[in-house]
Amino acid sequence: LAKAIYNQLSATFTEKSFIEDIAHLSETRSNIRLDEQLLLDVLKTKVEIPSNEMERRMIRERLSGKRVLIVLDDVPEFDASLVWKCVEWFRGGTVIIITTRDVDLPRILQVDSVFRLKLMDEDESLELLSWHAFGEAKPKEEYNYLAKSVVSH
């Protein structure tokens, strides 16, 4: 869903970044790597950030005031620092979309709006899996048992 929204909005922004599965990335890489990815996406050049002071100066000089679309997908509760930085760095017309399972994060960040998704039931989950795995609404008969087993997990 986050990627679909990003794809729909991205044409109206010259600077944009989509960082997916931050919860997983946070386990394997430090926050500074996420910062570098964001800067790479927005500036379209590889940037190595040797220190926090250098990072702040670079952002002030090169990114301040830009209108940016940022999607941070699956932000864990303990990793709100990147979100705070994004809020501080960009102003005026910037859109930051955050997906998270942490119900307190929107309250902590004082966001403009929250859209809560309801979980899919088994039939909806099976249809979603089928579209992705088989390119049709229902799994082929020989995969039906396996697909239902995957959905139940």
Is residue 115 one of the residues assigned to a domain?
no
The residues facing 68 across adjacent strands are 15
Question: Model-level pTM greater than 0.85?
Answer: no
To the nearest 10 degrees (0 to 180), the angle between helices 31-43 and 52-62 is 20
* Residue 60 shares a structural domain with residue 135: no
Question: Could you tell me if residue 117 is inside a domain?
Answer: no
Q: What is the largest CA-CA distance in the chain?
A: 59
> Would you say residue 104 lies in a domain?
yes
In this prediction, residue 108 carries a pLDDT of 59
> What is the model's pLDDT at position 139?
92
Q: Is residue 45 located within the same domain as residue 3?
A: yes
Q: Does residue 63 share a domain with residue 15? A: yes
Q: Please state, in angstroms and rounded to a whole number, the distance separating the CA atoms of residues 1 and 76.
A: 17
Same domain, 75 and 128: no
26 with 78, same domain? yes
Residues 98 and 132 in one domain: no
Residue 114 lies in a domain: no
In a domain, 41, yes or no: yes
Q: How many domains does the chain have?
A: 2
Indicate the Cα dihedral angle 101, 24, 33, 109, nearest 10°: 10
Residue 37 lies in a domain: yes
Same domain for 67 and 99, yes or no, is: yes
What is residue 79's predicted lDDT score, i.e. its pLDDT?
53
Angle between helices 122-134 and 144-152 (to 10 degrees): 120
Per-residue pLDDT of the chain (153 residues; tens, 9 = 90+): 888 889 999 999 888 889 887 776 655 555 556 677 777 787 777 766 666 667 667 766 776 677 888 888 887 765 556 566 666 666 677 888 888 777 766 665 666 777 777 888 999 999 999 999 999 999 989 999 999 999 988
Residues 73 and 102 in one domain: yes
d(CA 150, CA 5): 26
Domain housing 75: 1-109
Same-domain pairing of 81 and 137? no
Q: Are residues 85 and 133 in the same domain?
A: no
**81, 140: one domain:** no
